[in-house]
Amino acid sequence: MTRPEPAKGAALHFRALESLYAHAPINDLFASTLEIAGEGLARIRFDVTENVFHAAGAAHGTIYFKMLDDAAFYAANSLVTDRFLLTTAFNLHFTKPVRAGPVVAEGCWVSGRRRVLVAEARLIDQSGDEIGRGTGTFMRSRIPLAGLPGYRADG
């Protein structure tokens, strides 16, 4: 089954969010790309490297949070076209250690559309195993998306 193409305005918003992600200074530290495939759906591909390992040779928990929060955040913000969302809470579950290699964070909107939105995300390693999951609560801010550097559909 193929997904219907998003409306032109929605597709422009999705591309602008992808551009916003790419232009965020924090993402200079991580080899990652964002794809918003549809309303309420975000996928981020990460390349986990040894420079984010803790002393026991696996990725530090901050990496789990970064990947899960970003995927859930962008899934939620795909539904909000005027304001930047802020993470107000995030619950994280570690399932398996992350080793070096590709990891995919899949985010999905769960509920809410007005002031507060809830989205969840899961991490999948290169062998297809779930290695973590989380649920976040996101609130509309007073920050207009249109005024943020990087928020543009032309990338």
**What's the mean pLDDT in 10-17?**
96
Q: Which amino acid is at 27?
A: N
Fold (topology level) of 8-147: Thiol Ester Dehydrase; Chain A (3.10.129)
Lowest mean pLDDT among 5-14, 33-42, 105-114, 127-136: 5-14
Model confidence pLDDT, tens digit, residues 22-35:
999 999 998 899 99
Tell me if residue 139 falls in helix, strand or coil.
strand
Q: Which DSSP helix (H) or strand (E) runs through 70?
A: helix 61-77
Q: Look at residues 136, 152, 138 and name the one whose alpha carbon lies nearest to residue 80.
A: 138
Residue 7 confidence (pLDDT): 67
Cα separation, 1 vs 70, in Å, equals: 27
**What's the mean pLDDT in 36-61?**
95
Q: Parse the chain into domains and list their residue ranges.
A: 8-147
Cα separation, 67 vs 44, in Å, equals: 7
Strand arrangement of the beta sheet that strand 101-111 belongs to: 31-38, 41-48, 101-111, 116-125, 130-144, 83-94
**What does pTM read for this prediction?**
0.92
| pLDDT for 1 beyond 90 | no
